[in-house]
Structure 1
Amino acid sequence: MSEPQNKREQTDPSAGAKGAEGEAPIVVKKYANRRLYNTATSSYVTLDYLADMVKNGQEFVVYDAKTGENITRSVLTQIIVEEESKGRNLLPIQFLRQLIQFYGDSLQTFLPSYLEMSMDAFARNQEKLRAHMRDTFGAAPGYQMFEETARQNMAMFEQAMKMFSPMSGLYQQAMNRGAGGGAESEEIRELKSQLAALQRQLDKLEKKG
């Protein structure tokens, strides 16, 4: 597949915007020279442009122009790395360490859904807070109060991660001891109890929003 020629760099993420709710995501192609090509606007774009699309709620999917492979996940990860390198540190070091520990772990398949559910609850909570601040303070919200609430939310999120991490060892022990079949082991019942407790904490977090 040849690379498009003589196309200008797209600088406005809102130009030719598609991918809104109910519409197909915008297709972006990545070429061997690492250039990104927005097929909706017939123009080259940057990672910053894609980051703005995410912030504007525009859906897109990225394909390798040569192989056709869906590489959206790696491109989104690259955007996060770029943002972190600019000093916009959003991910705590301890959180990153805990995340790395789950690669190859027996609970690895469960973690993505858990993180997605947690971030959805966090996002809903933040949106309600922003709305409350707009109603209370008008166009000049109290950012100090917002930052404090954000810190509290992140602390609760990290606490939930700490609760989740010890379950890995407990889960493995339960599976090893219960591998021979028979009645449900005490370890498995304990694991179910801890998972239920974690779910209750997540429910409380969402209700506080």
Structure 2
Amino acid sequence: MHIIKRYGNRKLYDTEKSRYVALADVAALVREGHQVQVLDAQNVDITAQILAQIIVEEQKGEGRGLSVDLLHDLVRAGGEAVTQKVRHVQAGVEHWINKSLERINPVREAKREMAHLKERLEQLEASIEELEQQESPRQSPK
């Protein structure tokens, strides 16, 4: 775990790398899969505030922000809101995937059946053609 200290001058210091870092550096560490803990000058854990600040700064830079509805929900519900929203979205995605699979499976089965029927039709056509060829020599012109 990377311990990041935030000093009174608001500078961030990575204790593992022994150097000052920017918010973008902390974001990069998180994206790389590292856990970070940010402590202020009094050793109070301010990780959540720094991560939230990273999200806000990145949203500003992209020219688009979080939806107003989501921000309202976050303010109303507090810290647990994000976890609940993620669970809700995850459940919705899983439900959508399951429903899609339910719709796709009959189509797959129908496609297999169509391929089988096509094969049978080709066999029947070949049999009919063979019978027609056998009948042709028997019929003589009168």
CA gap of 1:70–1:116, structure 2 versus 1, over 3 A, is farther
Residues 133-188 of structure 1: per-residue CA shift (max 9 Å, x gap): xxxxxxxxxxxxxxxxxxxxxxxxxxxxxxxxxxxxxxxxxxxxxxxxxxxxxxxx
Q: Which runs of 5+ in 2 are unaligned?
A: 101-142
**Paired residue for 1:75?**
50
* Structure (1/2) with the larger helix percentage: 2
Post-superposition shift, 1:32?
Answer: 0.3
Instruction: From 112, 117, 133, give the equivalent of 2:87.
Output: 117
Q: Residue 54 of structure 1 aligns to a residue in which SS?
A: helix
Give me the whole-angstrom Cα distance separating, in 1, the residues matched to 2:70 and 2:24. 25
Give me the whole-angstrom Cα distance separating, in 2, the residues matched to 1:115 and 1:41. 35
Bigger-Rg structure (1/2):
2
**Paired residue for 1:59?**
35
Give me the whole-angstrom Cα distance separating, in 2, the residues matched to 1:206 and 1:74. 34
CA gap of 1:205–1:54, structure 2 versus 1, over 3 A, is farther
Equivalent residues of 1:28, 1:39 under 8 A apart: yes
Post-superposition shift, 1:115?
Answer: 2.7
**Paired residue for 1:34?**
10
Give me the whole-angstrom Cα distance separating, in 2, the residues matched to 1:53 and 1:206. 32
Equivalent residues of 2:2, 2:16 under 8 A apart: yes
2:110 matches 1:204: no
Give me the whole-angstrom Cα distance separating, in 1, the residues matched to 2:33 and 2:42. 27
Give me the whole-angstrom Cα distance separating, in 1, the residues matched to 2:28 and 2:49. 17
Give me the whole-angstrom Cα distance separating, in 2, the residues matched to 1:58 and 1:75. 15
Post-superposition shift, 1:29?
Answer: 0.5
CA gap of 1:31–1:206, structure 2 versus 1, over 3 A, is farther
Q: Number of aligned pairs?
A: 100
Post-superposition shift, 1:88?
Answer: 4.2
Post-superposition shift, 1:99?
Answer: 2.5
CA gap of 1:113–1:41, structure 2 versus 1, over 3 A, is same
Q: How does the TM-score come out when normalised to structure 1?
A: 0.41
Q: Which runs of 5+ in 1 are unaligned?
A: 1-24, 122-198
Give me the whole-angstrom Cα distance separating, in 2, the residues matched to 1:203 and 1:72. 30
Q: CA RMSD in A?
A: 2.7
Q: How does the TM-score come out when normalised to structure 2?
A: 0.58
Q: Residue 32 of structure 1 aligns to a residue in which SS?
A: coil
Equivalent residues of 1:62, 1:70 under 8 A apart: yes
Q: Residue 62 of structure 1 aligns to a residue in which SS?
A: strand
Post-superposition shift, 1:74?
Answer: 0.4
Post-superposition shift, 1:51?
Answer: 1.3
